[in-house]
Amino acid sequence: MVSRVFLPRSSCALLLSLAPALFAQPAPPPGAAKLAADVVVSAEAEPESAASLGVAATVIDAAEIAASKATTVLDLLRTVPGLDIVQSGGPGTVTSLFLRGTSSTQTLVLVDGVPLNSPYFGGTDLSALSVANVERVEVVRGPFSALYGSEAIGGVVRVFTRRGAAQGEDSGRATLALGTASAKEAFAEIALGSGALTGSAGFRRTLADGDLPNEFFEATNVSASITAALTDALRVGLVARRDEGRTGIPFDSGLPTPRRATTNETTTFEAPVSLALSAKSSVEASFRWVRDSPTFSDPDAAFTSSSTNAQRAGARLVFTSILGAQRLAAGADWERTLVSNESNFGVALEDVSTRTFALFAEDRVALAGERLVLTAGVRWDDHSAFGSAVSPRVTLAWRATPSLKLRAAAGSAFRAPSTGELYYPFSGNPSLRPEKSNGYELGLEKTLGGGVVAEISGFWNDLRDLIDYDAATFTNQNIGSARTRGVEVALRTPVGARSFVRASYTYLDAKDLDTHTFLLRRPRHRASATWATTFVSGGSVSLTAMWVGARRDGDAVDFTKIVEDPSYLRVDAAVTLPPLALSLAPFVRVTNVLGRDYVEVSGFPAPGRRFLAGLEAAF
């Protein structure tokens, strides 16, 4: 029963749940200086050193992104502890992520503060999210509704694009590449700075085919930002992004679909403003808008077409002040959603709207020279459909010795029912309550020789009022409950050194408490390791190995049947040579180096060995 909540079995529902959301979230001040690799933005109301955090966090910086030669953000996330990426076949196909056993609907994904979680049926599909102009990716694990509101039950994945260059530090990079399966890629990004103005822009065009007829993927990604320092205290900015993708679907339930395809067009805008009132207090505001338009078409099927138009507008205001050992933050959020959907069967939703207003506060206290840091926060959300929700959170970080940190965290979180779950004519229920959870975490971090950090975290999440389809009433009901618990072990060397290593192992016990069975597509065991190095003369090498254990899954043809997807090992490699003539650097990226046959979703084979080779120019 609960498995349907955590993993929708209808391919149509998945295709219709691609609309991204907009919800005002904390953002670094526009035009702020480049963040250090050991600073985390997403865990508290203001950026903080990783050494003082009471939660588990992972940062993937620009050097690691460049060395990996990854095309999409989802490939960067595959090695994050506690995070499982599941894709239904090759590039562009529907992708889900499970953070600490929670589902895509319960993990908040932000790009420049704009959530990609669908306001229609929930969830996030990262299949077309490119690394174009992406400078940094952060993952913070645990309940974060006290800071972010809805969806942040399992944690937060946050993607940052470049915000321009400092004066005299203009930079740019461009690549052209060809590969197997008719793959073609063109990529360019640039960061500029001139006086009070800084800006950046990025572009990527991707084309690829699969092994089957009508298996293809094409995408265009464009992003840009500009920041103006109007005075020493006042900065304003504008960030825009456009993502377009089209994917061929070769089969469904084992039958060929030679003309089935999906498209997605997403446009986002954010206008951040920051004003320093004094050396110890500031005000930040942001205004956001997003429109997403996913479509589905298959001239050969009874369900021949569907199109969705989802829009969100939001605003945020937050005041921050430092009072001695305390840092206080308080603010308000507002958002409005508007969703329409129609198919060849008619109009399902027409401009259905929801509204949310929220107030929040956070108090951070640092004692004994930051050896002991206590952070407490609370948030009140008022939703036009279900009423209100209160989300508290507290974390503690204690540096017992210069090389040993102990941490603890506890909090509650919620997920608001999506517009489709509330109002879709064939299953909607306007009386739905939000899904809720209580989460707990204990962790230890030990700094070894050479700055190497070993980390272990134990976590426990209790989830209740999960939304599931009730066959007795033919509507969605709050009838599910689940528990996820586990252990994450990680090892990392200092990020930014010429060579670095990142390794992790995750044990997960994720159960449906109603059926007493393991949740689908969550492996009990998974491990990964990444090694990368850069050369003095330029160029780099990156090698990543990922092992995923066996997991339960729904059969691709008979949805009532449960099967087991076998364990698999995947190795990826990327090599960039030092620049040659005309400052051109040859590179090659190989995915699935060993050519292993495996599936992440039952019935949808993952691609075999793939090569991509090209030239890179940088300044």
- DSSP string of 1-22, one letter each residue: -HHHHHS---HHHHHH------
555, 545 contact by CB (below 8 A):
no
The pLDDT value recorded for residue 156 is: 95
Q: What is the pLDDT of residues 466-504, one digit of tens each?
A: 998 888 888 999 999 999 999 999 998 876 668 889 999
369 pLDDT above the threshold of 90: no
41 pLDDT above the threshold of 90: no
Instruction: Look up residue 397 and give its DSSP letter.
Output: E
Distance of alpha carbon 191 from alpha carbon 427, whole angstroms: 48
Q: What is the pLDDT of residues 377-415, one digit of tens each?
A: 999 999 999 999 999 999 999 999 999 999 999 999 999
pTM for this predicted structure: 0.91
8 pLDDT above the threshold of 80: no
Q: Average pLDDT in the 297-307 region?
A: 92
143 pLDDT above the threshold of 80: yes
CA 24 to chain centroid, in Å, comes to 16
Q: Where are the beta strands (DSSP E) in 249-345?
A: 251-252, 255-256, 261-278, 281-292, 295-297, 305-323, 326-343
3 state DSSP class of 146: helix
19 pLDDT above the threshold of 70: no
Distance of alpha carbon 619 from alpha carbon 611, whole angstroms: 26
The pLDDT value recorded for residue 6 is: 39
Residue 147 φ then ψ, to 5°: -105, -35
Distance of alpha carbon 106 from alpha carbon 563, whole angstroms: 24
Residue 537 φ then ψ, to 5°: -85, 5
Lowest mean pLDDT segment, chosen from 113-127, 360-374, 526-540: 113-127
Q: What is the pLDDT of residues 602-617, one digit of tens each?
A: 988 999 999 999 999 9
Report the candidate in 105, 116, 109 with the shortest Cα–Cα distance to residue 19.
116
The pLDDT value recorded for residue 37 is: 64
Give me the residues paired with residue 237 across strands.
227
Name the percent of the chain lying above pLDDT 70.
Answer: 94
Question: Which positions ≥6 away from 214 have C-beta within 8 Å?
Answer: 248, 249, 250, 256, 257, 258, 259, 260, 261
30 pLDDT above the threshold of 80: no
Report the candidate in 7, 154, 133, 63 with the shortest Cα–Cα distance to residue 532.
63
Question: Which positions ≥6 away from 516 have C-beta within 8 Å?
Answer: none
Q: Average pLDDT in the 527-547 region?
A: 91
- Give me Rg for the CA atoms of the chain: 23
How many residues are listed for the chain in this entry?
A: 619
Report the candidate in 223, 244, 241 with the shortest Cα–Cα distance to residue 92.
244
5 pLDDT above the threshold of 70: no
508, 484 contact by CB (below 8 A):
yes
Tokens describing residue 127:
């299949």
3-state secondary structure 36-97: CCCEECCCCCCCEEHHHCCCCEEEECHHHHHHHCCCEHHHHHCCCCCEEEEECCCCCCCEEE
Mean of pLDDT over the chain: 89
36 pLDDT above the threshold of 70: no
Query: Which residue segments constitute the domains of the chain, with CATH numbers given?
Result: 2-570+590-609 (2.40.170.20)
Tokens describing residue 535:
């050369």
Instruction: Look up residue 301 and give its DSSP letter.
Output: S
Distance of alpha carbon 208 from alpha carbon 92, whole angstroms: 9
Q: Average pLDDT in the 359-370 region?
A: 94
The pLDDT value recorded for residue 10 is: 35
Strands 255-256 vs 251-252: parallel, antiparallel or unpaired = antiparallel
Distance of alpha carbon 168 from alpha carbon 619, whole angstroms: 12
538 pLDDT above the threshold of 90: no
Give me the residues paired with residue 500 across strands.
532
Q: Which secondary-structure segment (H or E) carries 147?
A: helix 145-148
Q: Count the Cβ atoms, other than its own, within 10 Å of residue 307.
A: 15
Distance of alpha carbon 325 from alpha carbon 332, whole angstroms: 24
The pLDDT value recorded for residue 22 is: 28
The pLDDT value recorded for residue 35 is: 61
The pLDDT value recorded for residue 18 is: 31
Distance of alpha carbon 192 from alpha carbon 137, whole angstroms: 21
Lowest mean pLDDT segment, chosen from 58-67, 279-288, 328-337, 521-530: 58-67
The pLDDT value recorded for residue 496 is: 62
552, 525 contact by CB (below 8 A):
no
Please report, for residues 158, 405, 440, 571, the alpha-carbon distance to residue 443 in angstroms, rounded to integers and kept in the order given. Answer: 22, 8, 10, 29
